[in-house]
Amino acid sequence: MTLTDDWFTEICPESGSAFSLQVKRKLHEERTPFQHIEILETTHFGTLMVIDGFIMLSDRDNFLYHEMMSHPVLFTHPAPERVLIVGGGDCGTLREVLRHPEIKQVTQVEIDERVTRLAERYFPELCEANDDPRATLLFADAIRWVKEAAPGSLDVIIVDSTDPVGPAEGLFSAKFYRDCMRALGDEGVLVHQSESPLIHQDLIRAMRGAMREAGFSRLQTILFPQPVYPSGWWSATMAGKGGPLNLFREEASRNKPFPTRYYNHAIHRAALAMPEFWGEKVDCSTLSR
């Protein structure tokens, strides 16, 4: 079977696989100072944002990624109040973070303002919390912002970045994680999206190594489905300065005062379960056990 012209295809060269969505029409396309952005209307996945040829999010399944980038880390930190989101320009993670009433301030540092402006236009539901008085949206280089942040001034850092090529490359380094370490308080937790547990095992291992090198004593990768990303199976890796990251405020999670579509306390526990291959292929240390 071959695809006709009305399909958008993302090739994942490192796994010789490709994922395609059928497209009704192109809603927008522009080249920003940082990247090339397309907004497409698909037949079954709603609106789609593509950056530099990589699918960022669709209406239909972004809830999986956004909920799993925010709620697990926030229910893991014992008392999160001050949050930094690095990247996250579509504002879907920001919306989820702001659902937690205990959060006092969220700063989002996205390098490309156009991502947020286009999200406001094409994904308005993800941006519905942008005017929350607890939120500050900055458009700047997050690597520099974190380096200059006051020590111990953050409880949680969420790195909601693109893949480790292009503008996001510097975010996957011990140097950046060391700056995060310094900016976080004693119980601070960082979480960074860490690609596919099937395809990107080397990358996850390297990220975990860089986090350890930066001084984080606790690591925990979480796993979840994400159909529009390569392999449909995705991960995020938490790195912490305080207690174990495989424990969380389960009672608070069970009684969360806001709706979700994927996340709940049972899904949180489930996301902590690692496949048998994990020990051999990814986690050669005992730090996360």
| Per CB under 8 A, 258 contacts a second copy | no
- Under rule CB under 8 A, which residues in 49-108 are in contact with a second copy? 53, 60-61
> How far apart (Å, rounded) are the C-alpha atoms in residues 272 and 245?
9
| Per CB under 8 A, 289 contacts a second copy | no
In the block, tokens 């406001």 appear at 120
Amino acid at 236: A
Task: For residue 160, indicate whether it is catalytic.
Answer: yes
Judged by beta carbon, residue 43 or residue 217, the one nearer a second copy is: 43
Strand partners, 87: 160
Among 266, 284, 285, 289, binds a second copy (CB under 8 A): 266
| Per CB under 8 A, 165 contacts a second copy | no
**Secondary structure string (H, E, C) spanning the chain:** CCCCCCEEEEEEHHHCEEEEEEEEEEEEEEECCCCEEEEEEECCCCEEEEECCEEEEECCCHHHHHHHHHHHHHHHCCCCCEEEEEECCCCHHHHHHHCCCCCCEEEEEECCHHHHHHHHHHCHHHHCCCCCCCEEEEECCHHHHHHHCCCCCEEEEEEECCCCCHHHHHHHCHHHHHHHHHHEEEEEEEEEECCCCCCCHHHHHHHHHHHHHCCCCEEEEEEEECCCCHHHEEEEEEEECCCCCCCCCHHHHHCCCCCCCCCCHHHHHHHCCCCCHHHHHCCCCCCCC
Closest approach of Cβ 97 to a second copy, in Å? 18
| Per CB under 8 A, 31 contacts a second copy | no
Judged by beta carbon, residue 67 or residue 155, the one nearer a second copy is: 67
Judged by beta carbon, residue 41 or residue 120, the one nearer a second copy is: 41
Among 100, 271, 282, 283, binds a second copy (CB under 8 A): 271
> How far apart (Å, rounded) are the C-alpha atoms in residues 44 and 285?
42
Stretches 26-34, 86-94, 152-160, 230-238: which one binds a second copy (CB under 8 A)? Answer: 230-238
| Per CB under 8 A, 16 contacts a second copy | yes
Q: Which of 59, 155, 160, 179 is catalytic?
A: 160
| Per CB under 8 A, 220 contacts a second copy | no
| Per CB under 8 A, 156 contacts a second copy | no
| Per CB under 8 A, 43 contacts a second copy | yes
Amino acid at 170: G
Among 165, 247, 273, 284, binds a second copy (CB under 8 A): 273
Closest approach of Cβ 229 to a second copy, in Å? 8
Judged by beta carbon, residue 72 or residue 87, the one nearer a second copy is: 72
Judged by beta carbon, residue 164 or residue 225, the one nearer a second copy is: 225
Stretches 74-82, 132-140, 151-159, 224-232: which one binds a second copy (CB under 8 A)? Answer: 224-232
Among 28, 34, 260, 287, binds a second copy (CB under 8 A): 260
In the block, tokens 């596919």 appear at 196
* Residues found near a second copy in the complex (CB under 8 A): 1-3, 5, 7, 9-11, 14-22, 42-45, 53, 60-61, 197-198, 223, 225-227, 231-233, 259-264, 266-267, 269-277
Return the active site residues. Answer: 160
